[in-house]
Amino acid sequence: MSDVGTRNSRPLSPHLQIYKPIFTMVMSIVHRITGCALYFGTILMVWWLVAAAAGPDYFNFVNDLYGSILGRLVLFGFTWALLHHMLGGMRHFIWDMGYGFGPEAREWLARATLIGSVSLTILLWVVGYAVR
C-alpha cells in the first residue's frame, strides 16, 4: 500500500503551473492562439470584400483604414498568424505520417516553425512592397 499523505499532496489534474514551460509546449499554445486569431483576420478579409462590393466610397474608406499604421500592423500580425499556423499544421502533418517524434526532431520542428513563419512574413511583406 502507498502512503496516503503522499498521494493526497499530488494534484488530481495537472495544470500549466505544474509543468516547466519548454519551447515545444509554448509553440503548441501559440499554434492554438494563432488559430483563434485567424477568425478575427478572416472577418477583416470579409469586411474588405464586402466593402469592394458596396462601392468605391466605402471601399476607399476600408482601404484607408487598412493602410494606416495600426491597420498595417494588424495585417502584418494576421499574415504572421496565417503563416505560423500553416507551418504548425505542416509540423502536425509530419507527425501524422509517423516522423519527427524524437526529442531533437520535435525541438528542430518547433524552431523551424517559428523561424520560418517570421522569415516568410517579412519576405512576403518586402516582396509586396517591392511589387507595389
Task: Please state the residue numbers annotated as binding site for heme.
Answer: 85
Binding residue positions: 85
Q: Distance between CA 54 and CA 76 in Å, rounded?
A: 25
